[in-house]
Structure 1
Amino acid sequence: MANCSHNISKFLFIAILSNVLSTAQPLHAETVFATGQAFTLREAVARAQESAPGVQGAKAAVDSADAAVQAARLLPNPTLSVEAENILGTGRYARFGGSETTYSVAMPLELGGKRSSRTRVAQAEQSAAQIGVAVAKADLTLKITQAFIAVAASERRLRIADQRRELAVQTERVAHLRVGAGKVSPIDEQRASAQRLRADVDAGRAARATEVARANLARLIGATQPLAIVAPWFDDTSAEAGIDAPESSLSRAAAEAQVAAARARVDSARRARIPDLTVSAGTRRIKETSDTAAVVALSIPLPLFNRGDAEVARARAELDKAEAERNAAALDLAEALASARADVTDARASAISASGPELAAAQEAARIARIGYAEGKFSQLDLIEAERSLSQTQEAAIDALATFHDARARLARLLGHLDPIYKD
């Protein structure tokens, strides 16, 4: 009877082992945990850019800059004047008896190319605002990609945790049968129960982490419920470590735009020192004789107290500051790119190793331990140790893949890529 029970437990455990191995083998299978549409990375980024506050704010800044360009091109407004002389006096000048009324229009004439220089300042600020939109989109692409990576990694952790829990349940069942058959000590059953309880806790934690990651992604793209995703690229380490660089990174372009705007302000400040001429023309009516006469006037300010030197000095200082920040940004970018490329290369090597030979060795060791335990050749402690090693290796593989994709996404952001690095 005991031998029969042993054979039954052996057959049961091997059957369970085959079933679990058939579902647990790949880390590459896609798992969808939500009903409804499953989003790719490209679709998620496109949807987020439609409503993301950062992108919308950057676009509003462009609209403001466009309006500023239009305003800079406008001519100054003329001034309409009405003057009454010789009124409210005494004698013949009492009330309006001898009044003289003048109607005139004064038109400022901007000299020295002030309007064109003012327009160039507005256009430079417009270019900076347009680069700001690209920066906002690149930042959003990075944020969505990182959220996608978090969801993909959490889904795989959940799948592994569920498989581990199922195996722990079956191991507990086999331990119960073997204790009943008198083949092992009751301690084995208690130990198996403890392992099953721990697996339940781990699976619950993984499920909650997955829901949080999916809810975070949903919030980023403006969805009302957690999203299902499609990310076949997560398990792929064949992507090249490097990423093609565009002609200019966004940080460098933004710094250059600030320098261009500062130079335009220096030119505008210099031209503002040239006094403007105001031309007035009108007509005067002399009430006493009912005659009319033309009135013409020219006026120009005298730069006695404010020659504009302070404004020029301030503009030059701002230009010096913008150039220094541009040079600092170039140095920071070069350092960040070198570090990011090294991170990608290191992360790729770790991901290839962790998800390849290391994982295969741990899976084979666990398989042998399961079969050996079912046949009574290995102790339960050997099985637990093999399972723990496999669990740690699987977690390390997922972490390495997530680190690799995150490093690539950060490198793409430094290079100024607006589109996702993975085309699904």
Structure 2
Amino acid sequence: MPASYRRPPRFAVGCALAAIAAVLASPAWADPAPSFAELLARLDQTPATTEAGALLDAAEARARQARVRPNPTLALDAENAFGSGPFSGYGNAETTLSITQDLELWGRRTARINAARADAGTASLRRDLAVVDAAGRLALVYADAEAAERRATLAEENLSLTLADARAALVLVEEGREPLLRGIQGESEAAAARAGLDEAIAERDAAFARLTAVAMLAEPVTTIDVSLLDLAPATALSPTDQTPTVRVAEAERSAAESRIAVERTRSRPDVSASVGLRRYEAEDATALTFGLSLPLPLFDRNGGNIEAAQADFRAADARLMTARQEAQADRAAAQARLRASVSRVNAADAGVTSAEEAYRLSRIGFEAGRISQLELRATRTALVNARTAAVDARLARVRAEIDLARQDGRAPFQGAQ
């Protein structure tokens, strides 16, 4: 047998022990992330909510502008001046100073104001929906970062357990109670556990970087002290028709209906009234002038725009029907997923307790020589899987709470707003 197969794996196991010791003994600097509640309080500083707030400000400004009446037109006209014959020069000129005002008949101003108000109401609801979506994204990124941190911790624990089992197997190999193959297998398992730890650390760092960016933190996050995965979901309920998506769809439908009225008023003549003062130079006299003007609706009656507004209304009405149907289905699904995730968390916690006890008994039996290394490896793998499943179950519970919170129109893990 070649020498490489006869040597004990003590050197490789020792190197792995040194590697994990270096990881655990690294400088203890950490910049913990603010709690989810603290980040939620600063949600209005995120780009998504800032954009939605700016769009709302613009819509409210347009609503204020819609109330303003059109400016009057001031005109100065001169006739019969600087011509020929008796009209040479300015002696027989007629000068008129007039002011013209659009009367906005046929409810034109009211329709314009109502349409602008409807658009502002829609923008307000979209802002609320953007805040809810931003809160959900923040909760998901926060939970992903915490789950990645826990997985990295589990990977460290797995490496520690694997090395401990490898040391125990090495002792049995040296005592002749186990074949040399068991020591080589322990060395391979330690190397795989070390690679798993490196991968988990990389995923944790990436998740921390995403949390730092989404939360707009000045300093990079290196740890999470306040848990979100362990929080109990909120139990706030709201009617299906009160979900943010349905409210936005209803507002869009109302805005589309108000635009039909605007286009119909534009099909009617735009009447303007004028009053002025005319100066007769030849008679050295003045007189008032009055007038009304309106376009003749011979060619353009705004028919195309009216039909387009009516089509937009039908589309908005169809979107509202779809939103109501989807809201009902999505809410029922979110409630079902949340109930299932709560049960899954309880089952996972019970599984971790059982797996820990099974591994403890297997380790005692292995050291006493009553249990083989394969059985010990199986119980250790079951323990690692149970702990990972507990993290995954909590993350699934957070995702279910985020989905239900969006249907309720609130931030995750918060009461109804």
TM range (shorter): 0.7 to 0.9
User: What are the within-5 Å matches in structure 2 for residues 312-327 of structure 1?
Assistant: 312-327=306-321
Structure 2 CA distance for aligned equivalents of residues 209 and 183 of structure 1:
40
Match of 2:201, SS state, is helix
Which whole-Å CA distance do the structure 1 matches of 2:327 and 2:368 have between them?
60
Measure the CA separation in 1 of the matches of 2:159 and 2:32.
Answer: 29
Residue 43 (structure 1) aligns with? 38
Q: Deviations over 1:150-169 (max 9, x none)?
A: 11211211111111111222
- What residue is the counterpart of 1:64 in the other structure? 58
List aligned pairs for 1:127-166, cutoff 5 A: 127-166=121-160
Q: Pick one of 398, 416, 424 that aligns with 2:409.
A: 416
Secondary structure class of the residue paired with 1:372 = helix
Taking the aligned partners of 1:208 and 1:245, their CA distance within structure 2 comes to 41
Superposed, which structure 2 residues align to 1:20-419 within 5 Å? 35-47=30-42, 49-227=43-221, 228-235=223-230, 239=233, 243-245=236-238, 248-356=242-350, 358-417=351-410, 419=411
- Between the aligned partners of 2:406 and 2:99, the Cα distance in structure 1 is 57
CA contact (8 A) 1:104 1:282 kept: yes
8 A Cα contact 1:45 1:420, kept in partner: no
Q: CA RMSD in A?
A: 2.1
Q: Which one-letter code corresponds to 2:254 in the other structure? A: A
Question: Aligned AA for 1:284?
Answer: R
**3-state DSSP of counterpart to 1:168:** helix
1:408 alignment partner AA: E
Q: How far, CA to CA, are the matches of 1:313 and 1:259 in structure 2?
A: 16
Counterpart-to-counterpart distance in 1, 2:287 and 2:233: 86
TM-fit CA distance, 1:118: 0.8
Amino acid at match of 2:39: A
**What SS class does the counterpart of residue 288 from structure 2 fall into?**
strand
Q: Which runs of 5+ in 1 are unaligned?
A: 1-32
- Given the superposition, is the C-alpha separation of residues 34 and 101 from structure 1 closer, same or farther in structure 2, using an over 3 Å criterion? farther
CA distance in 1, matches of 2:307, 2:401: 44
Compared CA separation, residues 332 and 239, structure 1 to 2 (3 A): closer
| Secondary structure of the structure 1 residue equivalent to 2:69 | coil
Letter in 1 for 2:342: R
- In structure 1, give the amino acid aligned to 2:412: P
Given residue 70 of structure 1, which amino acid in structure 2 is its aligned partner? R
CA contact (8 A) 1:279 1:298 kept: yes
Shift of 1:329: 0.9
Counterpart of 1:412 in structure 2: which amino acid?
A
Contact 2:81 2:91 in 1 (8 A): yes
Residue 100 of structure 2: SS of its match in structure 1? Answer: strand
What is the one-letter code of the residue matched to 1:411? Answer: L
Identity of aligned residues (%): 29
Aligned to 1:384, what secondary structure does the other structure show?
helix
Contact 2:229 2:395 in 1 (8 A): yes
1:159-192 deviations in Å (ceiling 9; x for gaps):
1111111122222333333333333222222111
Change (3 A) 1:296 1:328: same
Contact 1:100 1:284 in 2 (8 A): yes
Task: Find the residue that maps to 2:77 and give its secondary structure.
Answer: strand
In 2, are the aligned partners of 1:41 and 1:420 still within 8 Å (CA)?
no
Aligned equivalents of 1:169, 1:196: Cα separation in 2 = 6
Taking the aligned partners of 1:235 and 1:221, their CA distance within structure 2 comes to 20
Change (3 A) 1:422 1:151: farther
Residue 285 of structure 1: how far off its partner (Å): 1.8
Aligned-partner Cα distance in 2 for 1:289–1:239: 90
How far has the Cα of 1:388 moved from its partner?
A: 1.2
Deviation, structure 1 residue 37? 4.6
Deviates more, 1:212-221 or 1:181-190: 181-190
Contact 1:82 1:101 in 2 (8 A): yes
Distance 1:163 1:80, change over 3 A: same
After TM superposition, give the deviation of residue 422 of structure 1 in Å.
5.3
Does the aligned pair in 2 maintain the 1:176–1:189 contact within 8 Å? yes
Q: Is the 8 Å Cα contact of residues 233 and 413 (structure 2) preserved in structure 1?
A: no
TM-score (norm 2): 0.87
TM-score (norm 1): 0.85
Q: In structure 2, what is the equivalent of residue 28 of structure 1? A: none
| 1:283 aligned counterpart, secondary structure | strand
3-state SS of 1:119 partner:
helix
Question: After superposition, what is the alpha-carbon deviation per residue over 1:108-158, rounded to whole angstroms, capped at 9, x for unaligned?
Answer: 111122212211110110000000110110101110111111112112111
Counterpart of 1:155, as a letter, is E
